Amino acid sequence: MKKQIKKISSQKQQYWLVKSENTCYSIDDLRRDTVTSWSGVRNYQARNYMRDDMRVGDLVLFYHSNSKPSGIYGLAQVHTKAHADESQFDPKDEHYDPKSSVLHPIWSCVDIAFVQKFDIPITLRELKHNPVFQDMYIARKGDRLSVQPVAQKHFDYILQLAQKEIS
């Protein structure tokens, strides 16, 4: 069942893409959990996007990397503004950061909510093949950023493709 997308009328809609290895955390995991903290990101640029630019209500493409096939598997939505990533404080966590402290946290994350899983993923191969996506980060060589902004034209086109594949 498709969930209601929150409407925040006073602000301009923004779009993002987040990556996850499906063996680590997949769109199905998000559907099961409904909401999750996007913790464990240890890249400053990705952190800055979450901490400084993401707003509640922004829409998020959910990308599976290192997957068969790699591609966009569904849609999520920013559910909270950024807060401290709890995993940085836990010595037993694989994302523990000894340089960080509760008083001076280094890493931030937002919570994201499940919206929809696409019936058929939009593969990286497809994105690279279509000239519409030529200047989209994810379709470019050497892109390693796990949280990245998405232009409205790309977002709209991707949703169109997803709808087409559903019908």
Partner DNA sequence: GCCAACGTTGGC
Counting Cβ atoms within 10 Å, is residue 55 exposed (0-12), middle (13-18) or buried (19+)?
middle
Would you say how long the chain is, in residues?
Answer: 167
Is residue 145 near DNA by the rule CB under 7 A?
yes
CA distance 145 to 44: 10
In degrees and rounded to multiples of 5, residue 132 shows phi and psi of -55, -35
Specify the residue, 21 or 33, whose C-beta has the smaller distance to DNA.
21
Is residue 141 near DNA by the rule CB under 7 A?
yes
Q: Using the rule CB under 7 A, which residue among 36, 37, 65, 100 binds DNA?
A: 65
Specify the residue, 55 or 128, whose C-beta has the smaller distance to DNA.
128
CA distance 151 to 112: 19
CA distance 63 to 87: 22
Stretch near DNA under the rule CB under 7 A, chosen from 7-15, 73-81, 109-117, 144-152: 144-152
Stretch near DNA under the rule CB under 7 A, chosen from 51-59, 75-83, 111-119, 140-148: 140-148
Stretch near DNA under the rule CB under 7 A, chosen from 8-16, 54-62, 79-87, 137-145: 137-145
Residue that has been written with the tokens 């960080």 in this structure: 100
Stretch near DNA under the rule CB under 7 A, chosen from 5-13, 25-33, 54-62, 138-146: 138-146
Residues in 72-131 at the binding interface with DNA, rule: CB under 7 A: 124-125, 128
Residues in 23-62 at the binding interface with DNA, rule: CB under 7 A: 42-45
Counting Cβ atoms within 10 Å, is residue 58 exposed (0-12), middle (13-18) or buried (19+)?
buried
Sign of the C-alpha dihedral, residues 28, 157, 148, 15?
negative
Q: Using the rule CB under 7 A, which residue among 13, 21, 33, 120 binds DNA?
A: 21
Name the site residues for DNA (rule: CB under 7 A).
19, 21, 42-45, 65-67, 70, 124-125, 128, 141-146
